[in-house]
Amino acid sequence: MIKRLLFLLVFVPVFFLIFLGILIWYYPSIAVNPTTLGWGKQYLEGQGISIEWEAPRIDARSVNFWEKSLHLSLDRLHIESEDLSLRSQKILLESRFLFSFLKFNKLNVDRLHAEDLQIEWREGPSEENRGLSGDDSPKKPVDLGFVDTLSWLKLNELQIDLTSLRWIDNGSRSSITGDLHRKDEIWKTAGSFQLEEQNEGFSGQWDVLWDGISQEFKVEVLTGGVLQSLQASGSIQQAEESLTLTKSLSLQIESFPSINFKNLISEWRWESPIIVSLEGDWQIPSLSDAKRRQEIPLFGKLSADVFYQPEKDSNLAAKLLVEFFPKQKAPPVRGELQVDLQTDLQDLISGASGSLGLAMEIPDFQEISDYGKAFGFFVPAPFHHLNGPIHLNVNSNIPESGAPFDLNYEMTTDLKSRDQSVVTRVTGGLQVLRGSQGLQAHRLEADVELKKVLLIWPDLGLRPPPPLFKDARFADRIEAPKVSDSSEDSEMSYRIHVRTPQEPLQIKTHFSNTPLRFLIDAEVDSSGGMQGWVRLEPALLQLFRRQAQLTGGRLSLSDDFGDSPIESSLEVEYAEYKVFIRVRGTVSSPLLILESNPALNRRDILAVLLFGRPLGDLDPGQGESLASTESALIDRSITLGSMFLLASTPVESVSYNPETRAFQARLRMPGGVSLTIGSDTERLTQVGFSKPLGKGFRFRTLLSDLMDQDKQMHISAVLEWLLRY
């Protein structure tokens, strides 16, 4: 009896449950129907999740013994929880559950449509839970295991019209709108996204096609107003714990040449650490802009291993080898870049450490200068016909803990043309700071060795060079002067040391048969300071219409270039005497000392130098010119340039207006043409009693004398010629 009773107590419920299970197995609508849907809703509301819908239609059927179908349709679905808000105008799900031996095997979603889907995801701890602990806990690394867990899902058709997906995190706000479609194994998604973080952020669009064999996607990101885009296509092979992507990749960043990767094989291994290996060819297809039809490709190979180790501080490491080499129609640049870096994903720049090295060679400077034209770079005269190789080596060890690092470089040039040469070696370092703003060049050190430099000075004859650079005093719009914070020192500092260790710098000029030879040991720095010297070696010059021996010159640099002391000596030999011209003083205010052997007075020496005749043989106009020259010399109104011009050509007349300190010289030129040089500017006011007119003439204003017998007191003027003796 008891056994029977126990049997009934056990068997009946079990039988009932089995019966019910069989019934549900064959008729799933018994368990999955609007009523049970309502129970589920009530259960979730008990868990703090509010769900509302209208016109629920649910149809659960048994297709065959191992296959069940579920059709669900909900209008105006609204789910609300503490951290999620989801709304959709209509949800349609057609799915099939596949079983094998009563074990769930796969879910086939034949169709999943979501219309006007709006999701708002409020991530992060709530205000109450946030407490005082802040957000110091280390963030969990990204879990990529979902790739495996999704293997039970088969999605045949997916159509989601995402009207808005907003993801609100502490301090940041993200939103996504777009479509997601999948049909016949082809994924398509397109949409736009926006991330706002404090006052920064970026926005973008994507367009992805994924058909299982080849994948194409395009992402365009607008960050800081600059458009950047990434396009890729390829195939993915998934193994147990690795993913191999074979694809081509195109990266386009505004204001930067686009980069294409071809035959790029990237292998992703989900080990610890996760390793991504890249190997392929890269190409910068064109360095030109759209306006130029010239295209300059740049080719190379890329080999890189990237290690990702979530649990470590330096959780990202990379070894990179980039080779670049010339191909046909490519600029002749060859070399390689080696990078070996470890860094923390959370702090890519400050957390980085390792080493990098660049070795580059431009075998043909002439060719690279031709290519350079395509993107606005040009080699100016007189250097544009130089040819030869340029080598550049850069290496750096990047220390840990975010300390600054130095990029040490060495550049050598061996450039030559028919009549010029530039053989130099530049060594130094560029100190780079790392901070929240990224990398910042902080200080440049350069030691420039002019090993063998021979240049040609432009032959302008007697004319002073015109202004070759635009005057910086003009602007489209001039703002009111701002009060600048002098303590702010964000500009890069530099120190450049130039010297001639082997041969002097040589400059060919038209007033000397042999090049002028300069020895240099000079240093300039970013504070404007200058030190060192420039020495001019003795030379024979064609000045004062005869050969003049330059016995030497020296410029000692000081912080203000105009205050740099200058010393130079010139000897001009005449039949009866020798004239010594010494330049002393400073660059901005040179002082000319004239001496002779046997001794002549200053005016005699000037007369001989300027007019080639002794003082007694000069006509009155030349005497006046002489006086003007002497005045200007005393007043130091003659610049070094004017002094040179005076010395290099026959002088017709010289006038000097002490009122405006304007110096003018009229020079005789071939063909009877006269050339006027000088510092005279338009006078705004005519003043004074007399105005020099040159050649001994002046215009003189007379006020009638107080006790003049003429009863009509008046102002009158005369044209006057005068001679002092």
Interactions with another protein, residue window 417-436 (CB under 8 A): 417-420
Based on CB atoms, which residue is closest to another protein, 466 or 598? 466
Based on CB atoms, which residue is closest to another protein, 121 or 644? 644
In the numeric block, which tokens belong to residue 349? 């720049």
Give the integer Cα–Cα distance in Å for 130 and 148.
33
∠ CA(379), CA(381), CA(383), 5° rounding? 65
Is residue 415 exposed (0-12), middle (13-18) or buried (19+ Cβ within 10 Å)?
A: buried
Dmax (CA) of the chain: 170
Quick one: angle between helices 620-635 and 602-611, nearest 10?
A: 110
Based on CB atoms, which residue is closest to another protein, 167 or 457? 457
Does position 719 interact with another protein (CB under 8 A)? The reply is yes
Quote the radius of gyration of the chain (alpha carbons, Å): 43
Q: What number of chain residues touch another protein (CB under 8 A)?
A: 85
Does position 294 interact with another protein (CB under 8 A)? The reply is yes
Range in contact with another protein (rule: CB under 8 A) among 12-20, 329-337, 548-556, 705-713: 705-713
CB 72 within 8 A of CB 92: yes
Based on CB atoms, which residue is closest to another protein, 440 or 701? 701
- Closest by CA to 69, choosing from 77, 60, 80, is 60
What is the footprint of another protein within residues 25-54 (CB under 8 A)? none
* Sign (positive or negative) of CA dihedral 593, 594, 597, 602: negative
Residues in contact with another protein, shown as a per-residue x/- string from 458 to 497 under the rule CB under 8 A: xxxx-xxxxxxxxx-xxxxxx--x----------------
Based on CB atoms, which residue is closest to another protein, 317 or 651? 651
CB 219 within 8 A of CB 230: yes
Least distance in angstroms from the C-beta of 286 to another protein? 15
Based on CB atoms, which residue is closest to another protein, 3 or 724? 724
CB 396 within 8 A of CB 408: yes
| C-alpha neighbours within 13 Å on the C-beta side of residue 615 | 12
Helix extents (H) in 47-188: 127-130, 146-149
For another protein, the binding residue among 102, 132, 483, 718 (CB under 8 A) is 718
Range in contact with another protein (rule: CB under 8 A) among 48-56, 71-79, 573-581, 651-659: 651-659
Cβ neighbors of 301 (< 8 A, separation 6 or more) are 280, 281, 282, 321, 322, 323
Does position 376 interact with another protein (CB under 8 A)? The reply is yes
Based on CB atoms, which residue is closest to another protein, 257 or 620? 620
For another protein, the binding residue among 166, 183, 292, 499 (CB under 8 A) is 292
Does position 560 interact with another protein (CB under 8 A)? The reply is no
For another protein, the binding residue among 93, 107, 379, 583 (CB under 8 A) is 379
Cα 70 to Cα 26, 77, 97, 109, 463, distances in angstroms? 13, 18, 8, 9, 95
Does position 724 interact with another protein (CB under 8 A)? The reply is yes
Based on CB atoms, which residue is closest to another protein, 351 or 623? 623
For another protein, the binding residue among 378, 526, 641, 650 (CB under 8 A) is 378
What is the footprint of another protein within residues 437-456 (CB under 8 A)? 455-456
- Is residue 603 within a helix (H) or strand (E), and if so which, with residue range? helix 602-611
Residues in contact with another protein, shown as a per-residue x/- string from 655 to 674 under the rule CB under 8 A: -x-xx-x-----------x-
Least distance in angstroms from the C-beta of 475 to another protein? 6
Residues in contact with another protein, shown as a per-residue x/- string from 338 to 357 under the rule CB under 8 A: --------------------
Least distance in angstroms from the C-beta of 376 to another protein? 8
Give the integer Cα–Cα distance in Å for 592 and 606.
11
Does position 631 interact with another protein (CB under 8 A)? The reply is yes
What is the footprint of another protein within residues 175-214 (CB under 8 A)? none
- Is residue 366 within a helix (H) or strand (E), and if so which, with residue range? helix 365-372
What is the footprint of another protein within residues 384-413 (CB under 8 A)? 384-385
Based on CB atoms, which residue is closest to another protein, 223 or 366? 366
Give the integer Cα–Cα distance in Å for 115 and 88.
6
Q: Rounded to a whole number, what is the distance in angstroms from the first to the last CA of the chain? A: 161
Based on CB atoms, which residue is closest to another protein, 19 or 721? 721
Least distance in angstroms from the C-beta of 187 to another protein? 46
3-class secondary structure per residue, 481-538? CCCCCCCCCCCCEEEEEEECCCCCEEEECCCCCCCEEEEEEEEEECCCCEEEEEEECC
For another protein, the binding residue among 14, 153, 540, 717 (CB under 8 A) is 717
CA dihedral 453, 458, 463, 467 (to 10 degrees): -90
Backbone angles phi, psi at 492, to 5 degrees: -75, 135
Based on CB atoms, which residue is closest to another protein, 593 or 713? 713
Does position 713 interact with another protein (CB under 8 A)? The reply is yes
Does position 723 interact with another protein (CB under 8 A)? The reply is yes
Least distance in angstroms from the C-beta of 254 to another protein? 23
Range in contact with another protein (rule: CB under 8 A) among 56-64, 330-338, 529-537, 625-633: 625-633
What is the footprint of another protein within residues 684-703 (CB under 8 A)? 684-691, 693, 699-703
Least distance in angstroms from the C-beta of 641 to another protein? 13
